[in-house]
């Protein structure tokens, strides 16, 4: 009887040890699963490839195609867009608008996508880096390349309603997303406004005179959260006088632009 009792005690001890080992194993597995899921990023929006909580920042490109590009401008435009796409931070949205021959049909962005990342900074332990790279190329780079290539062949237009388009870009993209991070608006244009609102081909009015009109009040926008970068097309050098530059400086100041930079596109 005593021998059986010792065997029973040994079995009981073995069962206890196995039970403790099993519990520890379950704790380790649970901890590993929690860590693994914690390393996985939240799913991206399937349409825009933006974070589920929205874009971290936004860059908006408005391309004025009311006049055709010359060969040098086409080359410079190609370099500009590639640079914008390549340097777009992960999680930032790039929105592309065109001002062309059908203003009323072009009030929405041609494309809006976030940079989902290439996956190069991720671990194979937690993510499929090959799939992330494919997503970056086929879902982000290629659609943007298609749109920017098509912009080079856009038709010229009879009017150039730049101020009207700026308001629509603001309403349909910048205000629509209300991104909490940095917002930059790139305007590729000669800024030669030509519409019922204002005709700069006749003369450049003082901004004060324009600002006092009903049209100016109707078309006003608040760019208080936006850094504006104008890339000026030198299509009408005779009309792009110091008074012309003063008008647009005053316009963006009145619009409360966070900052303003004006540079020239080669060509």
Q: What tokens does 104 get?
A: 């009323």
- Residue-level pLDDT at 125: 44
CA distance 143 to 218: 35
CA distance 191 to 169: 15
CA distance 44 to 30: 26
Mean local confidence (pLDDT), 83-109:
91
Q: Residue 235: which region, alpha, beta or left (left: phi > 0; alpha: psi -120 to 50)?
A: alpha
What radius of gyration do the chain's Cα atoms show?
29
* 165 in Cβ contact with 189 (< 8 Å): no
pLDDT at 142 over 70: yes
Sequence-separated (6 or more) residues with CB below 8 Å from residue 259: 227, 228
CA distance 194 to 235: 14
pLDDT at 173 over 90: yes
HSE (CB half, 13 Å, CA atoms) of 204? Answer: 18
- Residue 111 sits at the vertex; the CA angle it makes with 231 and 120, to the nearest 5 degrees, is 90
- Residue-level pLDDT at 130: 82
Identify the CA nearest to 64 among candidates 193, 208, 174.
193
Angle, in degrees to the nearest 10, between helices 142-151 and 71-87 = 160
Residue 133's pLDDT band (boundaries 50, 70, 90)? confident
pLDDT at 257 over 70: yes
Q: Residue 256: which region, alpha, beta or left (left: phi > 0; alpha: psi -120 to 50)?
A: left
Mean local confidence (pLDDT), 30-39:
47
CA distance 20 to 245: 79
- Residue-level pLDDT at 117: 87
Looking at the DSSP bridge assignments, the partners of residue 96 are 61, 111
* 139 in Cβ contact with 49 (< 8 Å): yes
pLDDT cut 70: percent of the chain above it: 81
CA distance 240 to 247: 10
pLDDT at 119 over 50: yes
pLDDT at 30 over 80: no
Between strands 194-195 and 198-199, the pairing is antiparallel
- Residue-level pLDDT at 21: 64
Range among 114-118, 158-162, 249-253 rated most confident: 249-253
- Residue-level pLDDT at 68: 86
> If you average pLDDT over every residue of the chain, what do you get?
86
End-to-end alpha carbon distance in the chain: 104
* 219 in Cβ contact with 197 (< 8 Å): yes
- Residue-level pLDDT at 172: 96
pLDDT cut 90: percent of the chain above it: 58
pLDDT tens for each residue of 197-248: 899 988 888 999 999 999 999 999 999 999 999 999 988 787 888 999 999 9
């Amino acid at each position: 009887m005593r021998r059986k009792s010792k065997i029973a005690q040994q079995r009981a001890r073995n069962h206890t040890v196995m039970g403790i080992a099993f519990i520890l194993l379950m704790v380790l597995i649970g901890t590993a699963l929690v860590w693994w899921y914690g390393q996985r990023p939240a799913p991206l929006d399937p349409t825009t490839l933006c974070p589920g909580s929205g874009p971290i920042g936004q860059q908006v490109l408005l391309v004025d195609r009311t006049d055709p590009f010359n060969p040098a401008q086409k080359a410079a435009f190609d370099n500009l867009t590639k640079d914008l796409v390549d340097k777009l931070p992960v999680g930032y949205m790039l929105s592309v608008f065109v001002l062309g021959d059908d203003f009323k049909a072009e009030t929405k962005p041609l494309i809006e996508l976030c940079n989902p990342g290439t996956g190069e900074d991720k671990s194979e332990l937690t993510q499929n880096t090959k799939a992330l790279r494919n997503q970056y190329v086929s879902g982000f780079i290629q659609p943007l390349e298609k749109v920017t290539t098509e912009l080079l062949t856009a038709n010229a237009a009879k009017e150039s309603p730049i101020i009207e388009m700026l308001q629509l870009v603001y309403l349909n993209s910048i205000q629509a997303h209300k991104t909490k991070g940095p917002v930059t608006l790139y305007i590729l244009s000669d800024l030669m406004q030509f519409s019922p609102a204002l005709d700069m081909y006749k003369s450049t009015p003082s901004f004060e005179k324009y600002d006092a009109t009903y049209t100016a009040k109707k078309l006003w926008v608040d760019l208080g959260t936006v850094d504006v970068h104008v890339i000026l097309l030198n299509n009408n050098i005779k009309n792009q006088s110091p008074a012309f530059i003063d008008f647009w400086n005053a316009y963006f100041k009145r619009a409360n632009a966070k900052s303003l930079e004006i540079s020239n596109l080669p060509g």
